[in-house]
Amino acid sequence: HTSLPLVINTWPFKNATAAAWRALQSGGSVLDAVEKGCGRCQIEQCDGSVGYGGSPDESGETTLDAMIMNGDTMEVGAVADLRRIKNAIGVARAVMEHTDHTLLVGESASVFAENMGFIAEDLTTNNSVNIFSQWLKGNCQPNYRKNVFPDPSKSCGPYKPSATLKQNMRAQHANTHSHD
Amino acid sequence: TIGMVALDQDGHLAAGTSTNGLTHKVPGRVGDSPIVGAGAYADSSAGGAAATGDGDLMMRFLPSYLAVELMRAGADPSAACKTAISRIKRHYSEFFGAIICANTTGHYGAACNKVPGFSQFHFMVWNSESDAPRLKSVDC
C-alpha cells in the first residue's frame, strides 16, 4: 500500500473518491481533492447522510457540519449547524482561507457564507419532509431526549426538565443510515 | 457522513468531512465531523484519519487525533485505527463507529466497532496501484 498518491474515504462513496482523485490528477492540491471529494457527496446526497435534504432535526430542518484540514500548515476551517447553504465543505474552506478562526457555527456561519458569496437556499426536500412527517406521526420516536416530561419514549415535545434524573442506559440511535 | 484523507506524490496531506448529522437530532446539535481531531485530523509529518458514526460519543475521545499520534509513534494505520476504536469501546461497548487511517507512505487501514447489524465497514481507496476507485472492507 505504498503507492502514492492516495485517496481514502469512509463508506462506499465511489464518486467522491473519483472526484478527489481527478482533482489530484489535474494538478490540484490535496485540499482541492478533499473539497472536491466531499463536495461530490454533498451534491449526490451520499446515502442521505451527506448534504441537503437528509437527517432532519426535531423541527424538520437539515443542518450541515463540515471541516477541512491542511496537514502541512495545520490550518483548519470548519462549520457546524450550518443552515440554508448547501456547500458546507466549501464554506469550511472559506473559514480557513478568509478568517483566522477555525470553527464557525449556526446562523452566523450562514451569514458569513453568504458574505463569502455562497448562495442561500432551502435545504429541505420532499424526502426530508417525508422523514419528518413520518416521525411526527410516530410520536417522535426515536429521539435524543432524556430526563424530561412528557415521557420522551412515548410522546413528542415540547419537553420540560423532570425533577428527578435517572441514569438510564444510553439509547442507541446511530446506525448505518443515521450517523456523523 | 463522508470523511476523507488525500495524500499526493510529494507527501502533502489533507483531510476533511461533510455530513448532515443524526436524524431527529435536537436542533443546534453538532456531531464530531467538524471538530478537529474528532471528525478528521491531518498532519503531513505523521498521517491522516477520519471517523464516522455516533458523533455524540466519538467526539469525546478525539479518535482521529489519537490515530494520527499513534502513527507518528510508529503504529501501522490498521493498528492505529483499532486502538482509536477500542479506546471508545472501553467506555461505550455498543457504540456505532468506524475510522480510516493513512500514514505518510500511503499505507492505509480502517477499523470499526462490532454491534448488531454492523459487522463490516466499507470504505473506498484509490492509489496508483489501480486505475479506478476500489471498494475495501474491514471486519469489525
pLDDT for residue A38 is more than 50: yes
Across A21-46, average pLDDT: 98
d(CA A52, CA A153): 28
Does the beta-carbon distance from B127 to A105 stay under 8 Å?
Answer: no
Spatial distance between the Cα atoms of B82 and B101, rounded to a whole number of angstroms: 10
pLDDT at residue A136, rounded to an integer:
98
Where helices occur in B11-136 by DSSP H, the ranges are 55-58, 63-72, 77-89
Q: Does B108 touch chain A (CB under 8 A)?
A: yes
**Is a pLDDT exceeding 90 seen at residue A172?**
no
pLDDT at B23 over 50: yes
What mean pLDDT, rounded, does chain A reach? Answer: 95
Identify which of A14, A105, A142 has the shortest CB distance to residue B24.
A142
How big is the A-B interface in CB pairs under 8 Å? 313
A95 in reach of chain B (CB within 8 A): no
Closest by Cα among B134, A95, B60, B43 to B51? B60
Compare CB distances from A30 to B6, B20, B31 and report the shortest one's residue.
B6
Q: Does B52 touch chain A (CB under 8 A)?
A: yes
A176 pLDDT more than 80: no
Catalytic residue among B1, B19, B83, B104: B1
Does residue B81 sit at the A interface (CB-CB below 8 Å)?
A: no
The chain-wide mean pLDDT, for chain B, equals: 97
Mind listing the pLDDT tens digit for each residue in A74-105? 999 999 999 999 999 999 999 999 999 999 99
DSSP string, A13-52: -HHHHHHHHHHHHTT--HHHHHHHHHHHHHHHTGGGTSST
- Shortest CA distance from A139: residue in chain B: B24
Chain B, residues 22-51, CB within 8 A of chain A, namely 22-36, 39-45, 48, 50-51
| Eight-class DSSP state of A123 | -
- Please say whether the beta carbons of B49 and B63 come within 8 A: yes
Q: Is B1 a catalytic residue?
A: yes
| Inter-chain residue contact B1 with A170, CB threshold 8 Å | no
pLDDT, mean of residues B114-131: 96
Which three-class secondary structure state does DSSP give residue B115?
strand
Chain A residue whose CA is closest to B113: A175
pLDDT given for residue A2 in this prediction: 56
Contact check, Cβ <8 Å, A12/B135: yes
Q: How far apart are CA A146 and CA A130, in angstroms?
A: 25
Per-residue pLDDT at A1: 43
pLDDT in tens, A115-149: 999 999 999 999 999 999 999 999 999 999 999 99
